[in-house]
Amino acid sequence: MPEMADKADRVGQGGIQAVVGAAPHGATAITEEYLETIYNITMEGEPVIGARLAEKFRVAPPTVTETLKRLTRDGYIAMDSKRQITLTPLGVERAEAVLRRHRLTERFLVEMLGMQWHQVHEEACRLEHYISGAVEARVLASLHQPTTCPHGNPIPGAVPNARTYLSDMDAQRLLQTTPGAEQTIVCVSEVVEDEEELISYLHDRGLTPGTHVTLAAEPAVRDLHSAEAAEAMVTLRAGDRELVVPARVAHALWVTQG
């Protein structure tokens, strides 16, 4: 996915600051990108380690290490004896501030400017670092206090607790659900929202929030880290349609039963 690779290269080399400058909220854009990613991975119940961030941003591990040192120095993150990364209260506050602006911007682009839901993530990434509190308040009011972005992820401050949103809804990944049990798509994993090819794939097949889906059969894999996962396919039913999709697609969809 060339666009993501290009963006990742700029993040890893500190180029975001050259492209969009420092955010006017007391943190650089690269800091906000890292805090968003750590927050989103944690929200989905997975451990955050440097290798995962290097994979996500497609940069060398030493680049991630240097950034993590700065985030630790600035009081945004902490690391335990296993090198697992957690956000400090300050880190959570900063991550939720930028995620709120990001998700509100996506909602604005869809509802006010008529863009399609699968087209707005990158645009919101460009704008999120520059929205003032006054603009944020006007967008909220204009959109009648939305609670989620177009991809179904919670807007911090608009739900009781954005960090526990998925667990509060008893949501789980579609790949882990019981075959034959009808599910409703709640959201697309925020961790993969910047993978434009994947989001377009979901859009083209109607696998969007609110859609009813069912695992048609026991999947060959339940764990994307297994050796078979890269080639594994999963059969779904969505209404009267039967779809055969990669296992990572089912992994990216969070659902609730019913």
* 80 and 48 both lie in a single domain: yes
Full domain range(s) for residue 201: 172-257
* 190 and 154 both lie in a single domain: no
pLDDT digits (tens, 9 = 90+) for 22-45: 444 557 889 999 999 999 999 999
* 102 and 157 both lie in a single domain: yes
* 27 and 66 both lie in a single domain: yes
Q: Is the pLDDT of residue 3 over 90?
A: no
How confident is the model at residue 217, as a pLDDT?
86
pLDDT digits (tens, 9 = 90+) for 52-74: 999 999 999 999 999 999 999 99
Q: Is the pLDDT of residue 171 over 80?
A: yes
Model's pTM, two decimal places? 0.85
* 20 and 130 both lie in a single domain: yes
* 104 and 87 both lie in a single domain: yes
Q: In what helix (H) or strand (E) does residue 85 lie, and over which residues does it extend? A: strand 85-87
* 11 and 118 both lie in a single domain: yes
* 144 and 189 both lie in a single domain: no
* 157 and 197 both lie in a single domain: no
How confident is the model at residue 26, as a pLDDT?
56
* 127 and 93 both lie in a single domain: yes
* 208 and 97 both lie in a single domain: no
How confident is the model at residue 21, as a pLDDT?
36
Last residue of a domain, one of 142, 163, 184: 163
* 233 and 187 both lie in a single domain: yes
How confident is the model at residue 227, as a pLDDT?
63
Last residue of a domain, one of 163, 190, 219: 163
Residue 46 sits in a domain of what CATH number? 1.10.10.10
How many domains does the chain fold into? 2
Q: Is the pLDDT of residue 16 over 50?
A: no
Last residue of a domain, one of 110, 144, 163: 163
How confident is the model at residue 15, as a pLDDT?
31
pLDDT digits (tens, 9 = 90+) for 98-123: 999 999 999 999 999 999 988 899 89
| Mean pLDDT for the chain overall | 87
Residue 237 sits in a domain of what CATH number? 2.30.30.90
